A and B are shown apart, each in its own frame.
Chain A
């Protein structure tokens, strides 16, 4: 294949924006977008809430500066302040640009883009399209990419970077439709593969494919991961699937009830009760469960979100989507029964270490979106800032790669280079005596992470987690692929995704053990306070001799001094 100027891995919001911007920057470039699912299926479509931008359509006194401050404070001061400047200053422009190319934003009375309040924001600046913001943004971007004739390789599964010395020569990927392992020689590669929170498996709100593939590929190529330990949990995930029951249920007056029938939030947030901030409610539910006041089931322990007292009429008129969802996914009608819930892993703040232009430490390799860590979210992402992140930094990465592609030699990937990836796969497909089931391993990984590297962390738990992950990695060597077919081998794909999750899980656990403080979403029982002296810095994890090796990186400060984070 003729070398590409840019190969973009991922067709979510970040990847598509990168593609559009790269084409705009230099229309002569030869660009490809690879995605393991059709781009419009990407997880960006799941974002309901909206995207933040200080348009000041709703609150006339809103400003970019206030958005910057809210973001830095929300991050518990772990975000890099120069990066946050870029994020928030670019926000109004990018939201308007999306509007200009067809995103169907909801509207205010004066016909401007509608905005609403969102957690952690001092002004109502979250731009939305009903409850389908991410979906409509993704549709718009996909439509525009079709319009511009972006070259898509849909249902291609990225396997590895082809690295020689310290240089990337391009990407190696499997065509799912044929099973063929193909070379994508390229001057530059942009990773935009989304988050890794699915490693918590049934304890995650994420799509099945949010397995951190891009991060794992970059990690294996020697590129450092940043702040991997920092994972955001949402308080109300469905017990069986981890899917989100949105805040609306509590907003309308739902109760959280333990097995003794208590409205236990009275113990943790006497005034706000169920409406306390996300992390506090998550920790409270987890405490109830840990102290034995949860309900029991083979699918794990849980507590009740009870809406029955609101009455059938209110539930039907105000919470129809929540009812539909609990009926569809849990078979529970909230009019008649309480909803079984527990906290669920929701967002990965950590990711591939990049600078403010999307560059990684490896020449010609870039990353953007949830798979990257710039860092604009620090230790805690604000609702509505993630869509913004993928758009702003997706665009920047696309622009940078387009400008810099000329600096790099066109890569070439030989048959020899491909062979390694092919052989890895072939080996998996050989029959062997004793074997492990990938499904079981995947579930066990989720369980150990939720238990030992979950909401509450502590040295002995983390050691246990690290040991479990190591054992799972050992057992993974015996996992076999039973489907021997070349055509759409989803069995093989899921096994490879598990491998990626296992590689990254180690970095999450190792980072969590290293960070001896509590900051944002990272809570250590044995180090309950924020420790700015020792830990006001990013953690890094680099693969050295097959092991996650910890490192660190300073936080870039700016106009805002460290303060206690209170709301």
Chain B
């Protein structure tokens, strides 16, 4: 069936929306429905879905509220990428179709399905609660509202970008670890945890950190960068994840809980971010264990002070990275054995 959205305007194109359908009351498994409409230039994916719902199929279900990219309701996968339907232009999407003229629309992944394009957001809220994604203020209750904390522009800059997050869960849907393990903390929750941890008004930094380093926490991230690439607000999520790790190593040391795992992950950081390589030079002269226990925390402080490492494509591998990689691999082995030994004791 071909319907027309708007009769005027320079151009119109026939577009087919291939939409994921699933109603748990009647369907044993999901399927796709095709809706073909004539869409003018300037129309968003959300407006097209609204049009289909009003004119073609009222049972098609999805969430939308602000229609302006600020509330985070309309996260879904369009042509395979998790994004906001309300800020996605149909004509732009036409250039990204796998099959010409057919735009695929599917629900976000890694969250329980409810119906059609609607997924359950409760798991994300539960994780925000588990990781204390709030400021636990150091202002005594009796003083509340009487005076301001004084906060520098530099501190504000540290969490400015992070507070752009609208909890749309696009990053959740793209995260490679979550697809394998839904218990994983989630990129958005790591981002929020980071934002709380760098806030000087907060008094439970250490507790939050202790939770973050447990299983399914910050060390499980594989650095695939997919969360950051898909963030609808272009937030450098990976910087937040790095900062939490650096913070954890500094405050809790490399032997914390599953120490070897941490160190390994940290080394992976270093391996990828060649620039940090200087920090590990003492390893050569002093040996792995000594370095890990004595110097890494300090090195971490240095890194933390620099705060904002350049975003991934800009981080150039340091010269001679190959040699270092070999060395890190060796070091990993050492740490593992060290870890095993300490367990046996």
Contacts and interface: CB of A to CB of B under 8 A. Distances in A.
Interface of A: 37-38, 40-43, 45-46, 93-94, 96-97, 99-102, 104, 106-107, 109-113, 129-130, 132, 135-136, 139-140, 143-144, 146-147, 154, 177, 207-209, 240-241, 243, 297-299, 325, 327-332, 437-440, 481-483, 485-491
B38 interface: no
20 contacts: A45-B66, A46-B66, A46-B68, A96-B147, A100-B143, A130-B160, A135-B70, A139-B163, A146-B128, A177-B114, A209-B65, A243-B68, A328-B44, A331-B41, A439-B54, A482-B58, A483-B59, A485-B23, A487-B23, A488-B115
Contact of B160 (A104, A144, A327): A104
- 6 cross-chain pairs, A with B, having the tightest CB-CB distances, nearest first: A331-B42, A102-B135, A439-B54, A143-B134, A482-B58, A97-B145
A394 to B, nearest CB: 15
B42 A43 contact: no
Contact of A41 (B58, B72, B149): B72
Given A43-B66, A96-B147, A111 B71 contact: no
A329 B68 contact: yes
Interface of B is mostly: loop
Interface stretch (B4-12, B98-106, B242-250): B4-12
A439 B6 CA distance: 15
Interface string B144-165: 1111111111001001100110
Nearest to A482: B58
Interface centre among A144, A241, A440 (most CB of B within 10 A): A241
Nearest to B59: A483
A331 B94 CA distance: 14
A412 B117 CA distance: 37
Given A100-B201, A488-B114, A491-B58, A93 B145 contact: yes
B124 to A, nearest CB: 9
A439 B52 CA distance: 11
Given A40-B72, A96-B145, A99-B149, A482 B129 contact: no
Contacts of B114: 177, 487-488
B9 A297 contact: yes
B43 A490 contact: no
B191 to A, nearest CB: 12
Contact of B145 (A94, A240, A330): A94
B15 interface: no
A482 B25 CA distance: 15
Contact of B134 (A146, A208, A297): A146
Nearest to A36: B65
B163 A136 contact: yes
Nearest to A43: B66
A101 B65 contact: no
A93 B136 CA distance: 19
Q: Among A43, A331, A491, find the residue whose CB has the most chain B CB atoms closer than 10 A.
A: A331
Interface residues of B, number: 74
A100 B144 contact: yes
A331 B91 contact: yes
A331 B129 CA distance: 39
A112 B114 CA distance: 45
Nearest to B42: A331
B62 interface: yes
A113 B148 contact: yes
B330 interface: no
A37 B54 CA distance: 21
A43 B70 CA distance: 9
Given A207-B71, A490-B61, A40 B87 contact: no
Interface of B: 6-9, 23-26, 41-44, 47, 53-55, 58-59, 61-73, 86-89, 91, 114-115, 118, 120-122, 125, 128-129, 132-137, 139, 143-153, 156, 159-160, 163-164, 166-167, 196, 199, 201-202
A398 B29 CA distance: 45
A485 B66 contact: no
Contacts of A129: 163
Given A100-B139, A207-B67, A487-B24, A111 B42 contact: no
Given A328-B44, A487-B24, A132 B164 contact: yes
B34 to A, nearest CB: 19
Contacts of B150: 110-112
B137 A100 contact: yes
B41 A38 contact: no
A93 B134 CA distance: 21
Contacts of A130: 160
B67 A241 contact: yes
A110 B152 CA distance: 8
A147 B134 contact: yes
Nearest to A484: B59
Contacts of A243: 67-68
Residue of B61, B66, B133 with highest tally of chain A CB at under 10 A: B66
A458 to B, nearest CB: 29
Given A113-B148, A147-B134, A297 B8 contact: yes
B166 A45 contact: yes
| Residue picked from B47, B59, B89, B159, most chain A C-beta under 10 Å | B59
B314 to A, nearest CB: 21
Contacts of A96: 144-148
A412 to B, nearest CB: 29
Contacts of B129: 146
A529 B53 CA distance: 45
A173 B191 CA distance: 34
B71 A41 contact: yes
B58 A481 contact: yes
B144 A104 contact: no
A102 B73 contact: no
B115 A487 contact: yes
Nearest to B152: A111
Nearest to B69: A328
A101 B137 contact: yes
A320 B71 CA distance: 20
A487 B25 contact: yes
A485 B115 contact: yes
A158 B9 CA distance: 40
Contacts of B44: 328-329
B67 A208 contact: yes
Contact of B137 (A102, A104, A297): A102
B71 A298 contact: no
Given A46-B70, A109-B153, A299-B8, 14 more contacts: A37-B63, A41-B71, A41-B72, A43-B66, A104-B199, A112-B148, A132-B163, A146-B128, A207-B67, A240-B42, A297-B6, A437-B55, A488-B114, A490-B63
Contacts of B167: 38, 40
B6 A299 contact: yes
A488 B118 contact: yes
Contacts of A112: 148, 150
Contacts of B71: 37, 40-43, 45-46, 207
